[in-house]
Amino acid sequence: MRITKIDTTAVRTPMREPLVWPGGTRHSASGLLVQIQTDEGIVGLGEAPGPTLPTIQTIIEQELTQFLIGQDPFRVEWLVHRMEEFSRNWSRIANYAIAGIEIALLDLKGKALGVPVAELLGGFSRDRVPVVGYLFIDTPEANADKAGAFVDAGYTELKLKVGRDFEQDHDAIAAIRDRVGNDVKIRIDANMIWSVPAAIKWIKGLEQFDLQYVEQPVPDFDIAGLAQVRRCVSTPIAADEGCTDVRSALELLKADACDVLVVYPSEAGGLRKAHQIGALADAAGKWCVIGSWAELGVATMGNVHVVAASSNYPFASDTHYPLQESDVLAEPLEMSDGLVEVPHAPGLGIELDPEAVDRLARYEVRESVFYDDIQGEAPRVGQIL
Ligand SMILES: [Mg+2]
């Protein structure tokens, strides 16, 4: 079998409501669909999420396609390794493009062999994957209501964005804990907004709420600072923005800087890389969890297969999926009980809805996830004690 053509389509869906986090306000989710055609008629489906889709699209179309055409799509490890060699000194952005290709190669291979992607990654460790109920910066009352709705719907783990105002964060966590009781896990994410002393002070002030973990309290580059925070608090600490690929995961583990690695298969360069980070963390006695870029259905299902095939992703996966207005799949993913059934059909086990793809490809509102709608100096207040 040989690769004959690669098609990319940028798609975007509105969120059901604006989502406020320390870096801005998010109004939509975007993804780049990747379809790999072959001379035997089998098509592999992938998705590269991320806020820089035109760049990722250009990398696939202008840099990677010329290498991939004519190649045997079954040689996934070798193809990924060669693409990594091409992009050695611009790997951070290239990894998104490589991941979109790698997911499509695995879907294609699974379809050709008649096995699910999870089977290609090591086999099923579980048939259902838990997902988190995702809460953003809002009033304590509103977040308590949303948390209660998630728990009523069957979710057992919640995640809350924090970092703009400590008093509001404290009151929101208190209200959520009061509403959902002590059995529900609550994790918080400060998205790098705190300094080391601020992080230590704020996290100590939240220890009464028995948080599952605190995600990336300090900037991504400050591994020593993250390790210092971890040593000074009893709440487990997760590295997110600092954990971008296998190498950065290794550096975090060597520094004993965190308890949990937040892994984005799209950022790490593919589903197999995410699986490898799981093994690396396991060797260090740490755990992994899937992070969310607000993927659409294709990449979300790729993440589901990683967790299904891994023994070291014990936490509910992050996902914005229930908060997104629409999707590209013929049958949108079901998450109503806080669990996703892992398909046993060949490949990813999903099909596109061509009409939905066409509609979402024409949704042209552009935004930066990271800088829109910031009001005054609010995002920096967490830095000040
Ligand atoms: Mg995070």
Residues 324 and 198 placed together within one structural domain of the fold: yes
Provide the residue type at 259 as one letter.
D
CA pseudo-torsion sign 250, 251, 257, 263: negative
The Å distance, Cα 43 to ligand 1 centre, comes to 33
**Per-residue pLDDT tens over the stretch 182-197:** 999 999 999 999 999 9
Could you say which of 91, 115, 139 is where a domain stops? Answer: 115
Q: What is the CATH number of the domain that holds 288?
A: 3.20.20.120
The Å distance, Cα 152 to ligand 1 centre, comes to 25
The Å distance, Cα 108 to ligand 1 centre, comes to 31
The Å distance, Cα 157 to ligand 1 centre, comes to 15
Q: Please, what is the Cα angle at 344 between 338 and 348, to 5 degrees? A: 80
The Å distance, Cα 241 to ligand 1 centre, comes to 7
The Å distance, Cα 26 to ligand 1 centre, comes to 14
Distances from the Cα of 33 to the Cαs of 179, 273, 324, 377, in angstroms?
A: 39, 20, 17, 37
Predicted confidence at residue 381, as pLDDT, reads: 43
Q: What is the DSSP letter of 250?
A: H
pLDDT band at residue 367, thresholds of 50, 70 and 90?
A: low
Could you say which of 79, 96, 115 is where a domain stops? Answer: 115
The Å distance, Cα 238 to ligand 1 centre, comes to 9
**Is residue 367 in a domain?**
no
Residues 130 and 33 placed together within one structural domain of the fold: no
Residues 233 and 258 placed together within one structural domain of the fold: yes
Ligand 1 ion: Cβ-proximal residues, 5 Å cutoff: 189, 215, 240
**Is residue 328 in a domain?**
yes
Cβ atoms of 292 and 275 closer than 8 Å? no
Residues 156 and 291 placed together within one structural domain of the fold: yes
**Is residue 383 in a domain?**
no
Burial of 30 (0-12, 13-18, 19+ CB in 10 A): buried
Place of tokens 């060699």: 85
Q: Beta 237-239 vs 260-263: how paired, if at all? A: parallel
The Å distance, Cα 178 to ligand 1 centre, comes to 24
Residues 179 and 294 placed together within one structural domain of the fold: yes
Residues 201 and 125 placed together within one structural domain of the fold: yes
Neighbours of 331 (CB within 10 A): 12
From start to end of the chain, where are the E strands? 3-21, 24-38, 44-49, 128-130, 133-135, 157-161, 185-189, 214-215, 237-239, 260-263, 287-290, 339-341
Residues 124 and 111 placed together within one structural domain of the fold: no
Q: Please, what is the Cα angle at 77 between 74 and 78, to 5 degrees? A: 85
Over residues 25-47, the mean pLDDT reads 95
Predicted confidence at residue 26, as pLDDT, reads: 85
Over residues 7-30, the mean pLDDT reads 89
> 212-229: b or e for each residue (b if 16 or more CB lie within 10 Å)?
bbbbbbbbbebbebbbbb
Residues 110 and 173 placed together within one structural domain of the fold: no
The Å distance, Cα 242 to ligand 1 centre, comes to 10
The Å distance, Cα 199 to ligand 1 centre, comes to 15
Predicted confidence at residue 363, as pLDDT, reads: 74
**Per-residue pLDDT tens over the stretch 234-263:** 999 999 999 999 999 999 999 999 999 999
Q: Which domain holds residue 7?
A: 3-115
The Å distance, Cα 293 to ligand 1 centre, comes to 9
**Is residue 366 in a domain?**
no
Residues 138 and 75 placed together within one structural domain of the fold: no
The Å distance, Cα 66 to ligand 1 centre, comes to 35
User: What is the Cα–Cα distance from 61 to 190, expressed in whole angstroms?
Assistant: 36
Of 21-30, 32-41, 82-91, 365-374, the poorest mean pLDDT is in 365-374
**Is residue 142 in a domain?**
yes
**Is residue 165 in a domain?**
yes
Distances from the Cα of 228 to the Cαs of 196, 216, 232, 234, 237, in angstroms?
A: 8, 13, 6, 12, 11
The answer on pLDDT for 376 being more than 60 is: no
**Per-residue pLDDT tens over the stretch 132-150:** 999 999 999 999 999 999 9
The Å distance, Cα 151 to ligand 1 centre, comes to 21
Residues 101 and 127 placed together within one structural domain of the fold: no
Strand order in the sheet with 287-290: 133-135, 157-161, 185-189, 214-215, 237-239, 260-263, 287-290
Residues 134 and 100 placed together within one structural domain of the fold: no
Place of tokens 């809350």: 160
Residues 162 and 177 placed together within one structural domain of the fold: yes
pLDDT band at residue 369, thresholds of 50, 70 and 90?
A: low
Token digits for 244? 């971008």
Per the structure, the count of domains in the chain is 2
**Is residue 136 in a domain?**
yes
Q: Beta 339-341 vs 128-130: how paired, if at all? A: antiparallel
Provide the residue type at 378 as one letter.
A
The answer on pLDDT for 379 being more than 50 is: no
The Å distance, Cα 10 to ligand 1 centre, comes to 24
